[in-house]
């Protein structure tokens, strides 16, 4: 079916860039290593259990405690007709509830290299120690193969983006914000 | 160490390998994960913007 559709694009001489473009999804790993890798997650809800697409109403964080860590990756499932994916940027827009803080391993300088997956914890993360950016970073803050200057020239994954929200005992309400991902693609 | 499992976040089907995941046709989206249409209508704009940035950097 896909083959037929792509041929149709070419015959019409109206080649939509998406017909040739790379296919990029967000994946999340959960559980004891090696873990379960869930592809193309539909949200990044954080709460009191270690699972993908979690229900934050059913699994809220107790004020003063932390969410379970998230281990997420950008995954290129197909390069399409493109030659390179690089310059990965991840940030959050929107405020958190109360005095909660959102921490990550993402950083634009002094990058710590590729994190090795470990079972997510809700104790204070030793991996997510940097403040999550709340605007578009000026340069890449998520590496490929351990380097912010890395690139994918074939299907594969970025390094892990590890995140945790740490709450304050006075925080009585959750919040909804937006997680943003950006990458550059070279044809 | 436990064996790795793969799950499609859309149809929640489980797979033993990445290849099995990439080869399946998702019951929710109707497309395989290597097809841009698996990612929904918004992906077209995301992809076009990524290509524009990449081409601008290449020619800079």
Q: Find the residue in B nearest to A76 (Cα).
A: B34
The answer to whether A105 and A129 have CB atoms below 8 angstroms apart is: yes
Instruction: Determine the distance from the C-alpha atom of residue A160 to the mean position of all C-alpha atoms in its chain, rounded to a whole number.
Output: 8
Q: Count chain A–chain B contacts defined by CB atoms under 8 A.
A: 112
Four-residue CA torsion sign, A43, A47, A49, A54: negative
Q: Residues of B with CB below 8 A from A39's CB?
A: 6-9, 21, 33
Q: Shortest Cα distance from A77 to chain B (angstroms)?
A: 5
- Residue A4 banded pLDDT, cuts 50, 70, 90: very low
Q: Could you tell me how far CA A151 lies from the centroid of its own chain? A: 16
SS (H, E, C) chain A: CHHHHHHHHHHCCCCCHHHHCCEEEEEEEECCCCCEEEECCCCCCCCCCCCCCCCCCCCCCCCCCECCCEEEEEEEEECCCCCEEEEEEEEEECCCCCCCEEEECCCCCCCCCCCCCCCCCCCCCCCCCEECCCCCCCCCCCCECCECCCEECCCEECCCEEEEEECCCCCCCCCCCEEEEEEEEEC
- The whole-angstrom distance between residue A103's C-alpha and the CA centroid of its chain comes to 13
Model confidence, pTM: 0.91
Give kind and range of the element (H or E) at residue B36: none
Contact B33 A39 (CB under 8 A): yes
Element of type H or E holding B14: strand B14-15
pLDDT of residue A136: 98
For A8-31, write each residue's pLDDT tens digit.
333 333 334 445 799 999 999 999
Instruction: Tell whether A82 is within 8 A of chain B (Cβ).
Output: yes
Confidence label for A174 from pLDDT (cuts 50, 70 and 90): confident
Point out the residue among A27, A34, A185 whose CB comes nearest to the CB of B51: A185
What pLDDT is stored for residue A9 in this prediction?
A: 33
Give the pLDDT of residue A19: 53
């Amino acid at each position: 079916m896909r083959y037929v559709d792509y041929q149709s694009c070419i015959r019409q001489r109206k080649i939509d860039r998406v017909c040739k473009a790379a296919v990029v999804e967000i994946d999340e790993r959960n559980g004891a290593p090696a873990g379960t890798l869930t592809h193309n997650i539909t949200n990044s809800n954080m709460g009191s259990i270690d699972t993908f697409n979690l229900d934050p109403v059913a699994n809220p964080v107790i004020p003063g405690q932390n969410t379970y860590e998230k281990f997420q990756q950008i995954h290129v499932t197909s390069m399409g007709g493109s030659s390179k994916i690089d310059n990965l940027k991840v940030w959050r827009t929107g405020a958190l509830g109360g005095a909660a803080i959102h921490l990550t391993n993402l950083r634009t300088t002094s990058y710590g290299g590729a994190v090795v997956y470990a079972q997510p914890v809700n104790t204070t993360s030793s991996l997510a120690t940097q403040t999550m950016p709340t605007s578009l970073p000026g340069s890449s803050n998520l590496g490929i193969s351990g380097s912010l200057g890395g690139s994918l020239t074939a299907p594969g994954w970025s390094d892990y983006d590890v995140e945790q929200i740490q709450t304050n005992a006075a925080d009585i309400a959750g919040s909804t914000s937006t997680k943003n991902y950006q990458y550059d693609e070279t044809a | 160490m436990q064996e790795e499992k793969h799950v499609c976040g859309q149809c929640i089907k489980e797979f033993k390998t990445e290849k099995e995941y990439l080869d399946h046709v998702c019951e929710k989206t109707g497309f395989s994960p290597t097809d841009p249409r698996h990612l929904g209508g918004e992906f077209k704009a995301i992809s076009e913007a990524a290509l524009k940035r990449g081409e601008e950097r290449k020619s800079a």
